[in-house]
Structure 1
Amino acid sequence: MHLIVRASIAAAVFALASGSALAASNLQVVDSHSVSLFTASGGAFGPGRAISPTLWQVKYDSNTFLAFCLDPNVAVSNSANNYSSSAFAASDSVKRLYEGYYASSIANVSTSVDSAAAFQLALWELNNDNANLLTGGLRFRNLSNAVVMQANSMLGVATGNGAIQNLYNYTSLTSVNPASQTLLSVSPVPEAQTWAMLVAGLGLLGFMARRRNAGAA
């Protein structure tokens, strides 16, 4: 849990500088949590090819945070890579996925990686395929696997009509050289009350500083 809290805070700091593309920076994989699955029916993964949906902990531009993969057909490089960051235009379905399951998926990864793996499968489907785990390019023979079944439930919510609260800012990390997975990280959007309290606090500090200066004069 300590890892998740630290990574979330770092991601929030990192996202403040990621509204537009930045110069390439070094990215390193610090840790990973994954589970192996396979697609018996082929598709983009190939017949029976093993895949490992993974939650990554990465260090980028001096910040350490958690990230999921956006491209299921590219392996992550184990060596340091040059990556560029930019704001990611998340679809409504991706937003529903994150708002409904992201926090719980990373919170449970210390005891069970299945929820994070299911989240990754759902993200791949929404970003790269047809949001159906039984058809299309990223498909499974059936939903009997517990992780696949959980991912299917997540997709049902993500593609539904639930209200979108815009709880997160989304940042993509794209490999410059050599080729590696494109990663997606998020950071919480500060609530209006939080911004108001921050502005009020800064104003109060400024007022007190002026009073001290006036008293000294």
Structure 2
Amino acid sequence: MAHTLNLKHVVRGTVASVLLLGAQLASAQFLSNDVGAGSVIKLTSGSGPFNGTVTSGPSSGSTFESFCLEEYEYFSYGQSLYVKGVTNATTNAAGGHYGASTSDPLSFETAWLFTKYSQGAYGNTSTVKSDMQNAFWYLEGEKALSALSTKAKSYAAAAQTAVAGGYTGYGNVRVLNVFTNASYTSHAQDQLVMLAPVPEPETYAMLLAGLGLMGFVARRRKQQKTL
């Protein structure tokens, strides 16, 4: 009996871990990593960031949260926006605000700060989201430091400190290069998104092991009742 109970504990722990992973991805509004060229999205107001839905194409039906990366490029809420690519750089119109180029790599500071935000490190109130948006604009050269609130400055400073301390890379942070037309000639605000992490092979192995143990426990119970 004691041996069977230990198996139950393993099964419960395995299932709980997998459910927790799923809950974390859902709550963070991560975007399916299937999204790409040919995806069409629509964005609505999210009190700071945008709430997005992939309406057709790759990853259709996915919902996500995003921030814009160009302060002076525009679109309308509910408008169909066409994804040309998922990259680590914005594709701005030449001559944009603060000398934006046609291709502008995402800063490591922005990647670090968005990762922390997505992990819930700063909360998700409308004020936090608004300050985050302004901090991202500053870190991407779209906004002057003097235009930021004290809180937004603190977010930007934390990101700069992290990168100065050695942080590099993008993790699962990406840029949706979006346009207002299907021929990709009219730029919209490129979107800062977090792609859903692909589960490691160990996660799948743990899930399969848990399901196998559940079947084993069920058979043992059936055998015991038969006896």
TM-score by length of 1: 0.58
CA contact (8 A) 1:85 1:173 kept: yes
Question: How far does the alpha carbon of each residue in 1:9-68 deviate from its partner, in whole angstroms, 9 at most, with x for none?
Answer: 5x34x22x13xx42142x2224421xxxxxxxxxxxxxxxxxxxx311011132111001
1:149-188 to 2 correspondence within 5 Å? 149-164=153-168, 167-177=171-181, 179-188=187-196
The DSSP-based 3-state class of the residue aligned with 1:153 is helix
In 1, Cα distance between equivalents of 2:72 and 2:128: 21
Q: Which runs of 5+ in 1 are unaligned?
A: 34-53, 130-136, 209-217
- Shift of residue 169 of structure 1? 4.3
1:107-126 to 2 correspondence within 5 Å? 107-109=123-125, 113-126=126-139
Structure 1 residues 74 and 105 mapped into 2: Cα distance closer, same or farther (>3 Å)? farther
> Is the counterpart of residue 78 in structure 1 residue 77 in structure 2?
yes
1:10-89 to 2 correspondence within 5 Å? 11-12=30-31, 14-15=32-33, 17-18=34-35, 21-25=36-40, 27-33=41-47, 54-60=48-54, 61-84=60-83, 86-89=85-88
> Is the counterpart of residue 93 in structure 1 residue 109 in structure 2?
yes
The DSSP-based 3-state class of the residue aligned with 2:189 is coil
In 2, Cα distance between equivalents of 1:106 and 1:57: 18
**Rg: which structure is higher?**
2
In 1, Cα distance between equivalents of 2:196 and 2:135: 20
| Counterpart amino acid of residue 42 in structure 2 | Q
> Is the counterpart of residue 197 in structure 1 residue 217 in structure 2?
no
The DSSP-based 3-state class of the residue aligned with 1:138 is coil
The DSSP-based 3-state class of the residue aligned with 1:67 is strand
In 2, Cα distance between equivalents of 1:126 and 1:140: 9
Structure 1 residues 154 and 139 mapped into 2: Cα distance closer, same or farther (>3 Å)? same
Q: Which runs of 5+ in 2 are unaligned?
A: 1-23, 55-59, 89-105, 216-227
The DSSP-based 3-state class of the residue aligned with 1:124 is helix
In 1, Cα distance between equivalents of 2:87 and 2:162: 17
TM-score by length of 2: 0.56
Tell me what 1:37 maps to.
Answer: none
Structure 1 residues 85 and 106 mapped into 2: Cα distance closer, same or farther (>3 Å)? farther
Structure 1 residues 162 and 188 mapped into 2: Cα distance closer, same or farther (>3 Å)? farther
- Shift of residue 190 of structure 1? 4.5
Tell me what 2:28 maps to.
Answer: 8
| Counterpart amino acid of residue 81 in structure 1 | S
Structure 1 residues 149 and 8 mapped into 2: Cα distance closer, same or farther (>3 Å)? closer
In 2, Cα distance between equivalents of 1:149 and 1:83: 33
Task: Give the % identical residues.
Answer: 15
Structure ranking higher in strand proportion:
1
In 1, Cα distance between equivalents of 2:122 and 2:76: 22
Structure 1 residues 191 and 175 mapped into 2: Cα distance closer, same or farther (>3 Å)? same
RMSD: 3.5
Match of residue 144, structure 2, among 135, 139, 143 = 139
